[in-house]
Amino acid sequence: MQSERIVVLARERVRLDVFLTRRLAHVSRNRIQRHIAAGDVLVDGKPVRPSHVLSGGEVLELPPFAARQLDRASQPVDLDILYEDEDLVVVNKPAGILVHPVGSEFRHTVLNGLHFALGQRGEDASELGVVHRLDRLTSGLLVVAKRLGARRALSQAVEERRVHRAYVGLAAGDAPGESGTIDFLIRRDPSRPTRMQALDAAAAAVAQRSIVREHVSASGYSDPRLDLRPRRARTHWSVLRRLQGATLLRLELETGRTHQIRVHLQGIGMPLLGDPLYGPAALESLPPAVAAVHQRLGRPALHAAVLAFAHPRTGSSMRLRAPLPADLRAAVEALAVARA
């Protein structure tokens, strides 16, 4: 495969390694940083450091970042494919499966499963690549590009927020009104790096002043676990159904921070049921039916239900929907009965 050339379209200044991690969802950030440090990635024809800041308009030249040995690691994965053509595949991902290889888990993923399926049909899978991510425990719609041109176009559409995604979530408590916007800033929890925190403007200002350790080393490498800067984040919500001690919500992201929906709902006192990180802290404070649903789910009650975008080759409008999976349907039905 030839080197790839892309033009940076950015809404805000962003580090090169961060930009490429977002753009190349099937490649780890560590691997991207290694390639940049080795001079394999050029910005306007010149090698730079991973910490180089992009402002928009730059031309990047990239090596062929192929996903890690998919031809060897591919295996059959039971996937619910809602749409497929020569350019892309839309999958209704079940909860519990990774989108692409991460660390030691590089076989049983959506990307591996699609690679295996294409190979079984005799199709070329060398340019297969994911365009955006879903958390392992989140179910729902995911688009995967089968051709490099489609991946470039769809990745650009994601960056420019022309790919519309709507989620359905089952949250503890009764929503205050019929719709609203959560506007808390988000940062990594300094005491638990696997978690995020939602902060109002005053708390974010204090947090910003308290940062004493630089997250970028002298050599230019960034450790995301040390990046404690609060970032702007907005989540829009509306009520779909009021239940016994819980609310079924439609959720749309204006920004795309890590765990944004989960940490934002926790921040307004309406955590997602089943969420092991941000769920209700005190079961005894929940109505018995809600506590039972929370314990039974075993994963955040969050589902990517709507996906809309322009087809990368034809430009035609694509809009797909995925119904709630069985575990979330059962949770809603249990709380609907309790409310009756």
Catalytic residues, by residue number, are 135
Q: Which H or E run includes 91?
A: strand 88-93
Compute CA distances 239 → 74, 174, 298, 300, 323, whole Å: 41, 10, 23, 18, 17
For tokens 């439609």, the residue is 250
Strands 139-145 and 179-182 turn out to be unpaired
Rounded CA-CA distance 91/112 in Å is: 13
Q: Does residue 97 come out as left (phi exceeding 0), alpha (psi in the -120 to 50 range) or beta?
A: beta
What does the block give as tokens for 300? 């955040």
Give the CA diameter of the chain: 66
Q: Are 124 and 118 in contact (CB under 8 A)?
A: yes
**Packing angle between helix 326-339 and helix 288-297, nearest 10 degrees?**
170
Q: What count of Cα atoms within 13 Å lies in the side-chain half-sphere of residue 47?
A: 9
